[in-house]
Amino acid sequence: MSKNFFEISNVDFSVSGKTKVKDVSFSIENEGDIICLLGPSGIGKTTILRTIAGLEKIKKGTIKLNGKTLSSDKINVEPEDRNISLAFQDNSLFPHYTIEKNILLGSDRNKENKEQKLNLKEIIDLLDIFHILKKYPHEISAGEAQRASLARSLLSQPDLLLLDEPLSNVDQSFKEEIQVRLKKILNQLKITTIIVTHDSYEAFYLGLKCGIIWDQELKQFDDPYKVYHFPNSVEVVNFLNRGILIPAKVTGKNTLENSDLGIIEGNFIREYPMGSSVQLLLQPEDLEHDDKSNLKLEVVDRKFRGTNFIYTLKTPSNTLIPVFVHSHHIHQHEVDEKFGIKRPIHIEHIVCF
Amino acid sequence: MRINFWYISSFLISLFVIIPILTVFSSFFENTTNYYQVLKDTFLLEYILNSVILLLSVLILTFLIGTGSAYLVSFFEFPFSNFFKWALILSFAVPPYIYAYSLTAFFENYGTAYTILKNLFGEANYNQIIPKFDGLFGVILSISFSLYAYVYILARASFLYQSQNLIDLGKNLGFTKFKTLYSIILPAARPAIVAGLSLVAMETLAEFGAVDFFSINTLTTGIYNSWIAFDDLAFANQLSFYLLLFIFALFIVENLSRKRAKYHFNSKSGLKQKQKIQLSGAKSFAAFSFCFVVFFLSFLFPLSQMMYWTLKFPENLFDLQIIKLLTNTLYLVFLSSLVLIIFALTSNYGNRVTKNKTLNALSTLSISGYAIPGVILAVAFITFIAWFDDTVVKTYGFLSIKKVFIGSILGLVIVYFIRFYSLAFNGIKSGYEKINISVDESSYLLGYSKRKTFMNIHIPFLRNSLLFVFILISLEIIRELPITLILRPFNFETFATTAYISASEDLLEAAAVPSLFLILIATLFIIVTSKYILREK
């Protein structure tokens, strides 16, 4: 018998007869773990959550929680009998109740089952929603509605909490603070949580593991560090929108060569035969600026991003390469000027496809 | 698909309501008596022509009055504009047949108009100069002033939800007020106006009291006559079939002409609250005058006419058992509303949770029962019970069931149920449409069962819709005439039947008392709930 707390095996997720994501398998090992599912809009992330919650049925595979099968081609436990809470992305508060009443409805579920680990006041403080308690859903902003919906879900202390883009409507200035508070409270209450988001930084911060969904498949399911540094497919690279792929030839155990950049050193994350042609993932942080270097490339664009600039450089073979430079760096370069790259180029994790 | 309690109940309710409609459709293939040939050679064309003229005239008048007054009170401030906002729905309290009595009473030879002129200017032969509003023209006026409120209420609700941004856009494009009205405001409110006009169309084609009073031959009176005079139910049904086709054709034309235009706007994202324009001078006077004339003609005129006669002939007041009539009317209202609301609510919820296409189609079809005139429903019901009694009940040696259903409250409530089911179903449905499906899903995810979701989440949310539906049904039943007339128990009278019987015996003065009470009760119902009918939030 599987020891995983939550497990999805070979499930096709579909809505209205149309398959959105195929043959998905992943698991959550321990109760209280948080995982995140990342992917572009419309890819089927919400469908996955709705199916786990029991709002959509499956025809293939199984979904198990705590050893009990919730969904399969033959079994479908009704949503009200699952003790799974889903906080919808859009406002799903009951329009005829005040926010306070809406949130308190969350506590109805666990009245008999569980000891209340967190009281209403703590949740209200946590999500900073005291000022809207007496209001009705139509009187509050989308971000406040999201937080109220989150509060209701937290108060219900479900076996599994599903959050669909929980902070998408929350102001940027408040978002990071809420993320910190949310992570703390979920860990404190040991609520197993699956969060769906398209914000990779949110996923990397909150999730113990992250899944990347692309082109109807779960492409990679791993811890955030590995997803970022060891992407297992070009699709994952494209989704995370990091760097570019440039042609290179493997020249040694720890080296490869590109016609424009010369020799590149580092640690291959996978082995490749000597002399094989590969596509090397070059990320903006991989190259270092050095005015004294004899490897000079032409600046075609410069974007100011607060803490850094992103220079776009053109190689002799017309490849465009992004490079980060700290914004306090004294020597700035204008478009059309030459930009030096430090040699030898060293990349800690060499990712090739 | 899972067959559960909700599915079965919704299915049975819809099926029950749909039976008379199917009867009407199936009649198309049945044989009729010679009456058909007689009628075809004589009056059928007249029936159809009268119905068409009546329908088109009423539609044009109700559109102009209903939309015009809704536009004025929604977009402008002028003296008493807040009063007219709700006063204009009071016309609902006056059924077309009472309006018809008032018209006749006022304009007939030696009528109220004559008396006024005589008192003002002395004795003279005023009868020649007083216009006569009878015949088809009388019917058109009676129905239009009684029913324009359907268009008014729906158009006004739609105007209220129109965004200031749209109107600002019109200004920005340099539109005049008139151009803004016909190129932005009216097109955006089109579905609501058409919905109002559809109700008017169905009520007009089904109208019996006023048409009968002015002796105009329409398809509806044709149906009644073919049953009463020739006992030819099959032909009565065929006439109803043509009526239904006519109404469906109107719907289809409207739907096709809409094409893919979208009329609804998502008002969540910061649309500005609409600012009313303050009118002054001649414009203000014109707006006030328009609304006042409509209010006067539709409500004050029939009310004062009935009051005048009641006071002039007070003996009629004492001849009537007012308390008895009141309890009878209210008994029917509460009993029927309760039954209708419970079943329409169950059916709506069943449709919502089962999401079954067959059930949905059945429900859609079942609500077209409103288009079948009350006369034909009552007649079809009697025929069905008689047939069932003769062929099924008696064959198996049971006691006759005719008395249980015909001339009984039970039979009356059943036919009211079929007739007004669409009102209840649609009223509750529109309330349900405001509840996002994710609200149900949230409820399930909070551990609420379907029953608990229904009781704890939906019912409280639908409270206002249910009250609104109750009022609509109540007003219909208070004013309803042909079904009550045909199916009521012996010696069981309502204000409507008492008024009709007196009027049909040419005792208009005697009809005034029950008519006045009918108007007053209906007015009370409207006033009590006007804030729900006209709610602005």
pLDDT band at B241 (very low <50, low <70, confident <90, very high): confident
- pLDDT tens figures, A27-59: 999 999 999 999 988 889 999 999 999 989 999
When pLDDT is averaged across residues A191-218 and rounded to a whole number, the result is 92
Question: Of all helices (H) and strands (E), which one includes residue B285?
Answer: helix B281-295
Backbone angles phi, psi at B488, to 5 degrees: -65, 150
Query: ipTM of this model?
Result: 0.72
pLDDT confidence bin for B270, thresholds 50/70/90: very low
Encoding tokens for residue A152?
């209701």
Phi, psi (degrees; rounded to nearest 5) at B270: 65, 40
User: Between β-strands A18-28 and A6-15, what pairing exists: parallel, antiparallel or unpaired?
Assistant: antiparallel
* Stretch A179-190: mean pLDDT: 87
Look at residue B233 and give its three-state secondary structure: helix
Q: Which two tokens stand for residue B493?
A: 């009278």
Return left, alpha or beta for B110; rule: phi > 0 is left, psi -120 to 50 is alpha, else beta: left
Q: Which long-range contacts (CB under 8 A, 24 or more apart) does B54-57 make?
A: B54/B136, B54/B139, B54/B140, B54/B143, B54/B204, B54/B211, B54/B216, B54/B218, B55/B201, B55/B204, B55/B205, B55/B246, B57/B140, B57/B144
User: Quick one: pLDDT band at residue B30, thresholds 50, 70, 90?
Assistant: low
**pLDDT above 50 (res B4):** yes
Determine whether the interchain pair B442/A94 forms a contact, defined as Cβ–Cβ distance below 8 Å.
yes
Helix (H) or strand (E) holding A290: none
Chain B, nearest residue to A138 by Cα: B268
User: Which range, of B176-180, B406-410, B458-462, averages the lowest pLDDT?
Assistant: B176-180
Q: Please report the residues numbered 147 through 186 in chain B whose beta carbons come closer than 8 angstroms to any beta carbon of chain A.
A: none
DSSP lists the bridge partners of residue A64 as A7, A69
Selected from 3.90.79.10, 1.10.1040.10, 3.40.50.300, 3.40.80.10, the CATH number assigned to the domain covering A6-237 reads 3.40.50.300
For chain A, give percent helix, strand, coil, nearest 5.
25, 35, 40
Q: Most B CBs within 10 Å: which of A47, A81, A96, A150, as the mutation test of the B interface? A: A96
- Hey, are the CB atoms on B446 and A78 less than 8 Å from each other? no
| Identity of residue A67 | G
Query: What number does CATH give the domain A243-350?
Result: 2.40.50.140
Q: Residue A350 corresponds to which tokens in the numbers above?
A: 């060499």
Q: Cα separation of B189 and B162, whole Å?
A: 8
Kindly state whether A86 is in contact with chain B, defined as any CB-CB distance less than 8 angstroms. Answer: yes
pLDDT at A194 (0 to 100): 96
* Token couple for A340: 């030096």
> What is the separation, in whole angstroms, between the first and last Cα of chain B?
38
- Identify the pLDDT of residue A160: 93
Say how far apart CA B155 and CA B13 lie, in whole Å.
31
Running DSSP on this structure, what letter comes out for residue B108? S
Is residue B169 within 8 Å of residue B265, measured between CB atoms?
A: no
Give how far B344 is from chain A: nearest CA, Å: 21
pLDDT of residue A11 exceeding 80, the answer is yes
Cβ atoms of A218 and A227 closer than 8 Å:
no
pLDDT per position as a tens digit, B331-357: 999 999 999 999 999 888 888 888 777
Residue B343: which of B4, B9, B5, B20 has the closest Cα? B9
**The pLDDT of residue A136 is above 80:** yes
pLDDT in the model for residue B273:
52
Mean pLDDT rounded to a whole number for chain B: 83
Q: Is the preceding peptide bond at A344 cis, omega within 30 degrees of 0? A: yes
Query: Worst-scoring range by mean pLDDT, A126-140, A216-230, B14-28, B115-129?
Result: B14-28
Share of residues in chain B with pLDDT > 90 (%): 26
Instruction: Please count the other Cβ atoms lying within 10 Å of the Cβ belonging to residue B62.
Output: 28
Nearest to B201 by CA among B93, B369, B366, B54: B54
Residues of chain A with CATH 3.40.50.300: 6-237
What integer is the mean pLDDT of A63-87? 90
Range list for CATH 2.40.50.140 in chain A: 243-350
Q: Which two tokens stand for residue A337?
A: 């000027």
Do the Cβ atoms of A155 and A104 come closer than 8 Å?
Answer: yes
pLDDT value, residue B335: 95
Residue B321 is predicted with a pLDDT of: 83
Token reading at B491:
């010696």
Q: Say what the pLDDT of residue B520 is.
A: 93
**Closest Cβ opposite residue A106 in set B435, B446, B450:** B446
> At residue B266, does pLDDT exceed 50?
no
> What are the chain A neighbours of B443 within 8 Å (beta carbons)?
94
**In the structure, what pLDDT confidence band is assigned to residue B124 with cuts at 50, 70 and 90?**
confident
pLDDT band for position B255 (cuts 50, 70, 90): low
Q: Which amino acid type is present at position B444?
A: Y
Look up tokens 């786990």; give the residue. Answer: A52
User: What is the pLDDT confidence band of residue A96, given thresholds at 50, 70 and 90?
Assistant: confident
The mean pLDDT of A246-250, rounded to a whole number, is: 93
- With cut-offs at 50, 70 and 90, classify the pLDDT of residue B271: very low
Q: How close B93 comes to chain A (CA, Å)?
A: 31
Distance from the A54 Cα atom to the nearest Cα atom in chain B, whole angstroms: 9
Which has the higher per-residue pLDDT, B161 or B473? B473
Question: In chain A, what residues touch B434 (CB-CB under 8 Å)?
Answer: 95
Res A265: pLDDT:
92
Residue identified by tokens 């058109």 is B140
CB of B81 closer than 8 Å to CB of B284: no
pTM for the model stands at 0.75
A7 has which bridge partners?
A27, A64
Longest dimension (CA), chain B: 81
CA–CA distance from A319 to each of A258, A259, A282, B116, B305 (Å)?
11, 11, 12, 98, 91
H or E element in which residue B250 lies: helix B233-258
pLDDT of residue B267: 44
Nearest to B308 by CA among B165, B478, B115: B115
Pinpoint the alpha helices (H) of B446-507.
450-452, 459-479, 482-487, 495-504
Cross-chain Cβ contact B446/A152 below 8 Å: yes
Nearest CA-CA distance, residue A211 and chain B, Å? 24
Q: Which two tokens stand for residue A91?
A: 């406002």
Closest C-alpha to A37, from A242, A185, A184, A239: A239
Structure tokens given for B289? 């005058």
In degrees rounded to 5, what are phi and psi of residue B27? Answer: -65, -20
Q: How many residues does chain B have?
A: 537
Chain A residues closer than 8 Å to B436 by CB:
90, 92
Q: What torsion do the CA atoms of A105, A111, A117, A118 make, to the nearest 10 degrees?
A: 20
Name chain B contacts of A142, Cβ cutoff 8 Å. Answer: 268
Chain segment A274-286, per-residue pLDDT in tens: 999 999 999 888 8
State whether residue A52 sits within 8 Å of chain B by CB.
no
Picking from A110, A152, A108, A157, the residue whose alpha carbon sits closest to that of residue A129 is: A152
CB contact under 8 Å between B439 and A79, yes or no, is no
Q: How far apart are CA B212 and CA B224, in angstroms?
A: 10
- Best CA proximity match to B458, nearest among B338, B340, B353, B531: B353
- Residue matched to tokens 């099924």: B392
Q: 3-state SS of B77-90?
A: ECCCHHHHHHHHHH
The CA distance from B341 to B485, in Å, is: 24
| Pairing between β-strand A277-282 and β-strand A295-304 as defined by DSSP bridges | unpaired
Asked whether A301 and A312 are in contact (CB, 8 A), the reply is: yes
Instruction: Assess whether pLDDT exceeds 80 at residue B417.
Output: yes
Interface of B with A in 479-508 (CB under 8 A): none
Nearest to A105 among B436, B446, B461 (CB): B446
Calpha distance B4→A340 (Å, rounded): 74
> Alpha-carbon distance B525 to B533, whole Å?
11
Sheet holding A308-314, edge to edge: A320-326, A308-314, A295-304, A338-341
Higher pLDDT, B253 or A250: A250
Q: Do B461 and A94 touch (CB under 8 A)?
A: yes
DSSP symbol at A325: E
> From its phi and psi, is residue B449 left (phi > 0), alpha (psi between -120 and 50) or beta?
beta
Q: What is the pLDDT of residue B70?
A: 93
**What's the DSSP call for residue A157?**
-
CB contact under 8 A, A95 and B439: yes
C-alpha to C-alpha distance for A227 and A246, rounded to whole angstroms: 20
- Spatial distance between the Cα atoms of B168 and B275, rounded to a whole number of angstroms: 10
Asked whether the beta carbons of residue A94 and residue B439 sit closer than 8 angstroms, the reply is yes
**Tokens for B411?**
């039979």
In this prediction, residue B537 has a pLDDT band, given cuts at 50, 70 and 90, of very low
In this structure, of A129-133, B144-148, B246-250, the range with the lowest mean pLDDT score is B246-250
CB contact under 8 A, B442 and A84: no
B447 at A interface, C-beta within 8 A: yes
Task: Read off the pLDDT of each residue in A207-236 and give the average, rounded to a whole number.
Answer: 92
